[in-house]
Structure 1
Amino acid sequence: MSDTTQDGGVATSARPSVDSGLSPAELAAKHGLTVSGARPGLGEYVRQLWGRRHFILAFSQAKLTAQYSQAKLGQLWQVVTPLLNAGVYYLVFGVIIGADRGMSHSVYIPFLVTGVFVFTFTQSSVMAGVRAISGNLGLVRALHFPRASLPISFALQQLQQLLFSMIVLAGVAVAFGSYPSLSWVLLVPALLLQFVFNAGLAMVVARMGAKTPDLAQLMPFIMRTWMYASGVMFSIPVMLKDKPGWIANLLQYNPAAIHMDLIRFALIDGYGGSNLPPHVWLVALAWSLVIGVGGFVYFWKAEERYGRG
Structure 2
Amino acid sequence: MSEQDPRADTTDTSPAMATGAAPAPRQRYPQPLLPRNLRNWMMVWYRNYMVWKKLAIPSMIGNLADPMIYLFGLGLGLGLMVGQVNGVSYIAFLAAGTTASSVMMSASFESMYSAFSRMHVQRTWEAIMHAPLTLGDVVLGEIAWAASKAVLSGLAIMLVAGALGYAQMPGALLALPVIVLAGIAFAALAMIVTALAPSYDFFMFYQTLVMTPMLLLSGVFFPPEQLPEGVQAATKLLPLAHAVALIRPLMLGRPVDGAGLHLAVLGAYAVVALVVCLVLLRRRLLR
* TM-score bin, normalised by smaller chain: 0.7 to 0.9
Bigger CA radius of gyration = 1
Matches of 1:99 and 1:232, distance apart in 2 = 16
Answer whether contact 2:246 2:262 (CA < 8 A) is retained. no
Distance in 1 (alpha carbons) for counterparts of 2:127 and 2:217: 41
Cα distance in 2 between the residues matched to 1:250 and 1:127: 24
Residue of structure 1 aligned with 2:217, choices 200, 225, 229: 229
CA distance in 2, matches of 1:60, 1:112: 30
What residue is the counterpart of 1:83 in the other structure? 68
Native 8 Å contact 2:106 2:150 kept in 1: yes
Deviations 1:37-76 (A, max 9, x none): 235434xx3126731313313413532652544xxxx845
Instruction: State the AA in 2 paired with 1:229.
Output: L
Say which of 119, 138, 141 aligns to 2:101.
119
Distance 1:272 1:142, change over 3 A: closer
1:139 Cα deviation from its structure 2 partner: 3.0
Q: Does 1:300 align with 2:282?
A: no
Per-residue Cα deviation, 1:102-155 (whole angstroms, up to 9, x for no partner): 4332xx322201211221111221122222443222233650333413344233
Q: What SS does the corresponding residue of 2:29 show, helix, strand or coil?
A: coil
1:50, 1:162 → 2: CA distance? 26
What is the distance in 1 between the residues matched to 2:220 and 2:109? Answer: 18
Between the aligned partners of 1:142 and 1:268, the Cα distance in structure 2 is 46
Cα separation, 2, equivalents of 1:24 and 1:171: 73
Give secondary structure in 1 for the equivalent of 2:15.
coil
CA contact (8 A) 1:99 1:234 kept: no
What's the offset of the Cα at 1:86? Answer: 0.9
- Partner residue in 1 for 2:204: 217
Question: Counterpart of 1:153 in structure 2: which amino acid?
Answer: W
TM-score (norm 2): 0.74
Choose 253-262 or 226-235, whichever is displaced more: 253-262
Q: What is the CA–CA distance in structure 2 between the aligned matches of 1:125 and 1:301, rounded to whole Å? A: 20
Residue of 31, 55, 60 corresponding to 2:49 = 60
Secondary structure, in 3 states, of the residue corresponding to 1:296?
A: helix
Q: Which residue of 1 aligns with 2:231?
A: 247
Distance 1:300 1:78 in 2: 27
Alignment of structure 1 residues 281-300 onto 2, 5 Å: 281-289=260-268, 291-300=269-278
Percentage of pairs with the same residue = 17
Asked if the contact 1:111/1:264 (under 8 Å) is kept, the reply is yes
Q: Does 1:167 align with 2:154?
A: no
The 5 A counterparts of 1:26-105 are 35-38=26-29, 40-42=31-33, 45-47=34-36, 50-60=39-49, 62-63=51-52, 65-66=54-55, 68-69=57-58, 75=60, 78-91=63-76, 93-96=78-81, 98=82, 100-105=84-89
Specify whether residues 228 and 62 from structure 1 end up closer, same or farther in structure 2 by C-alpha distance, changes over 3 A only. Answer: same
Q: Distance in 2 between matches of 1:218 and 1:167?
A: 32
Amino acid at match of 1:62: V
Mark the CA change 1:144 to 1:48 in structure 2 (over 3 Å): closer, same or farther: farther
The question of 1:135 aligning with 2:135 is answered no
| Contact 2:100–2:179 under 8 Å retained in 1 | no
Q: Larger deviation: 252-261 or 45-54?
A: 45-54
Going from structure 1 to structure 2, the CA distance change for 1:21 and 1:79 (only over 3 Å counts) comes to closer
The 3-state SS of whatever aligns with 1:288 is helix
Superposed CA RMSD in Å reads 3.6
Match of 2:245 in 1: 261
**Aligned residue in 2 for 1:5:** none
Cα 1:198–1:39 shift into 2, 3 Å: farther
Aligned partners of 2:96, 2:167: CA distance in 1, in Å? 15
List runs of 5+ in structure 1 lacking aligned partners: 1-16, 26-33
Instruction: Output the CA distance in 1 between the equivalents of 2:30 and 2:279.
Output: 8
Q: Partners of 2:267 and 2:96 in 1: how far apart?
A: 20
Residue deviations 1:67-90 (CA, integer Å, cap 9, x gap): 544xxxx84565454222211222
Could you say what secondary structure the match of 1:247 adopts?
helix
Greater Cα offset, 112-121 or 135-144: 135-144
